[in-house]
Structure 1
């Protein structure tokens, strides 16, 4: 169905439509003509309002879920409201502080992304989602710290100052000298390379027998690179926080919708495919209900904004998933501010 341009609605229809949508988004309940007539900003009788609401229903902008139960916006109506009528409110100072405080500049970037998603979820009362950028950290230094006879702590320091530790199982009989030799060799040969490049370089060294390491130290170097490379491959590309927010009173009354939505969140590949659609643009994108086939059954909305890396390129997407009746005017700027904050962190 094509969306009726806002310019084709007269002033009376626009006023009634706006009040119906705003009331519905605030309560989640269909809105009756008597409720609208009591609003001080509108001087129309209930009968006049009913006629206007009927006209809006015929245009596909409102719907009556039950006889005499009032009306609610359709997905088409919500799209018209979001694109043409909504007045977005900037995040409050308290909300901005909460978002900035939740995003730390120390530690792995995944921790900052997870914290940002959790904060956004709590503030919006939706599920928070973030697409994690695929990173190849540039290496600076390696180290091995003995823990016991069969384990050591493998330490990787990146060029950006990040430090990551992994517990590494050791072959029997590895000496502290071999640990030190392997660490020195890796730091000297692989500093300035990515993990993939370091792995390729080590393979070439071993094939050409140019290495100055004994077998145990060489094995440690290979194990150290392997544990980080495997970890990088297994890192999540999608982080979801706050799924419990989706089980609100409205969802509890429609358990099938809630079940469908939670299943869709579990099928992360489909969510990723949707978010990749937001990577192409520079602005916040809003997907309402069945506009995207993924949410045609659960009737959910997605608000997603891209964030950028140090070179200014879009590297990921952050956003929320919630019911179609979420507070768009408040949540859209909140998502946009979170994306801007992440972009500053990535620089």
Structure 2
């Protein structure tokens, strides 16, 4: 059912709708007409409020979970509230200090990102998530270790001391001595370059017939660098912190939903693809329930914002995952502030 625009709702309908949503987000329980009638500033009888609620239910903005219960917002209702009625509450000085303080401790960037995610998780009472920028390691040394007549291990030592390896298929005609020669060639010629830069240089030298290697060794070097490069771009790094926050007191009444959400959090590649859409959009993204197929079964919400690196380029995404009953007014600005803090760190 399509959602009615706010401008087409009467003032009375907007007020009742806002109070129902805010009451539900605060308590997690259906909100009844009598509860609303007792709120300060409300000059409507329970019967009048029930009539308005019924109209809002027919518009697809509220639902009636039980015969004798009050109303709760539908996913469409939550979307309408978040997009057009929510009054955002900026993070407090203490919350800002907690986020920035974790980023100022130094150390590898992954540790800072994980720390910021854990802090965001604690402050929002959700699971914190961050998509780490895909790093292009800079080579210091490169070598090949034979595994069998048909396979070898390509080993790269980075400028930061990191060591990584990948298994590659050997071209025909490559001997053990050719493996050593090819590794020495790469280390001598391309130390200080990223894998992508080294691959481009190899391609250029081969085309210009300037590579001091035979054809089999040329193919070996090109294949090793190319396989490594593809592997690095196809495996985004996702950090998830604070899953235990999802097991709060309210979860006891909806254990199946929480179990489903925890199962979904195990699919990190799927989540990474979801967050990539936030990176592509260059702005805050809010997915509510079934708006996103990944979390449709658990009925969860995702709030994510991109953060930037050098020259303002988007390099990653930070956010939270939790139930649709989130304090959006508080959590959305908090995610945005964390993204801004990460951007300052990465610049």
Q: 2:294 matched to 1:294? A: yes
The SS at the match of 2:312 is coil
The aligned counterpart of 2:94 is 94
What 5-or-longer segments of structure 2 have no aligned partner? 142-155, 166-182, 206-210, 214-224
The aligned counterpart of 1:126 is 126
CA distance in 1, matches of 2:157, 2:105: 20
Distance of aligned partners of 1:14 and 1:199 in 2 relative to their CA distance in 1, 3 Å threshold: closer
Q: After TM superposition, what 4+ stretches of structure 1 lie above 4 angstroms from structure 2?
A: 154-157, 163-168, 188-191, 195-202, 231-236
The aligned counterpart of 2:336 is 336
* TM norm structure 2: 0.77
CA distance in 2, matches of 1:70, 1:38: 14
Q: What do the CA deviations read for 1:163-197 (whole angstroms, capped 9, x no partner)?
A: 445699xxxxxxxxxxxxx9xx96x7555312565
Q: 2:25 matched to 1:2? A: no
The aligned counterpart of 2:144 is none
The aligned counterpart of 1:58 is 58
The aligned counterpart of 1:218 is none
CA distance in 1, matches of 2:199, 2:111: 26
Counterpart mapping for 1:295-314 below 5 A? 295-314=295-314
CA distance in 1, matches of 2:32, 2:260: 29
The SS at the match of 2:94 is helix
CA distance in 1, matches of 2:158, 2:276: 31
CA distance in 2, matches of 1:52, 1:312: 47
Q: What do the CA deviations read for 1:248-281 (whole angstroms, capped 9, x no partner)?
A: 2232212211111111110112211211111122
CA distance in 1, matches of 2:212, 2:197: 17
The aligned counterpart of 1:109 is 109
* TM norm structure 1: 0.77
Distance of aligned partners of 1:137 and 1:55 in 2 relative to their CA distance in 1, 3 Å threshold: same
The SS at the match of 1:131 is strand
Number of residue-to-residue matches in the alignment: 298
What 5-or-longer segments of structure 1 have no aligned partner? 143-153, 158-162, 169-181, 210-224
Q: What do the CA deviations read for 1:122-166 (whole angstroms, capped 9, x no partner)?
A: 010000111111111345x78xxxxxxxxxxx9854xxxxx4456
CA distance in 2, matches of 1:32, 1:268: 39
8 Å CA contact 2:236–2:272 kept in 1: the answer is no
The aligned counterpart of 2:85 is 85
CA distance in 2, matches of 1:44, 1:129: 43
Counterpart mapping for 1:245-324 below 5 A? 245-324=245-324
CA distance in 1, matches of 2:32, 2:4: 22
Distance of aligned partners of 1:167 and 1:5 in 2 relative to their CA distance in 1, 3 Å threshold: closer
In angstroms, what is the RMSD of aligned CA positions? 3.1
The aligned counterpart of 1:15 is 15
Deviation at 1:106, TM superposition (A): 2.8
The SS at the match of 1:122 is helix
